[in-house]
Structure 1
Amino acid sequence: MSTSQDKSWKQREQAEEAAHVHQKEQSQLAALRAEIDSKAKDTAETAKSAADTRDRNFEGGFGGQEDLEDRYATTSGEH
């Protein structure tokens, strides 16, 4: 009997191939999870630092619009 007709050999080969595919999928999922975690961490740190910056730079302006250009200001800086 040839190996291609041997059912136990064929099942063993398919099981090994399935295990290899499963291991590869698991490693890809782990890499994706790590990438998502690092992006979430970076986003959280960026949001926190942006919030800290907003809190520190607040000088009683009007809702964050204090940086907008004043079109009606005179050339000497008076309003």
Structure 2
Amino acid sequence: MSTSGATAQDSTWKAKEQSQEAHYIHQREQAQLEAIRLERADKVVRNKASEEKHTMDKDFEGGFGGQEDLEDRYATTSGEH
């Protein structure tokens, strides 16, 4: 009988190996979950930043960002209305 076959049949060794494998798998899963959490948090921060950056795009109904008021003022001073 070979020693490798005896080692594979040893229940203590087998339990230790399975425990180490489970621990390794758990560590990898935790690392993947942390990466997903960080990626999601980064997306949330970027979305909030882009919403804050573009608030003026949604505040007015149209026109040239306030310049239409200047055009009306100059039109009325020259008598063209």
Alignment TM class, shorter chain as reference: 0.5 to 0.7
Normalised to the residue count of structure 2, the TM-score between the two structures is 0.65
Tell me how far apart the structure 1 counterparts of residues 63 and 56 of structure 2 sit (CA, whole Å): 17
Which amino acid letter does the alignment assign opposite residue 41 of structure 2?
Answer: D
Unmatched 5+ stretches in structure 1:
59-63, 68-79
> Relative to structure 1, is the Cα distance of residues 10 and 21 closer, same or farther in structure 2, using a 3 angstrom cutoff?
same
Normalised to the residue count of structure 1, the TM-score between the two structures is 0.67
Structure 2 counterpart SS, 1:4 = helix
Which structure's CA Rg is the greater one?
A: 2
Deviation (angstroms), 1:38:
0.4
Tell me how far apart the structure 2 counterparts of residues 65 and 54 of structure 1 sit (CA, whole Å): 9
How many residue pairs align between the two structures?
A: 60
Deviation (angstroms), 1:41:
0.1
Deviation (angstroms), 1:51:
1.1
Please state if 1:41 is matched with 2:45.
yes
Tell me how far apart the structure 1 counterparts of residues 56 and 49 of structure 2 sit (CA, whole Å): 10
Give matches, 1:1-79, under 5 Å. 2-55=6-59, 58=60, 64-66=61-63
Unmatched 5+ stretches in structure 2:
65-81
Which residue number corresponds to residue 78 of structure 2?
none
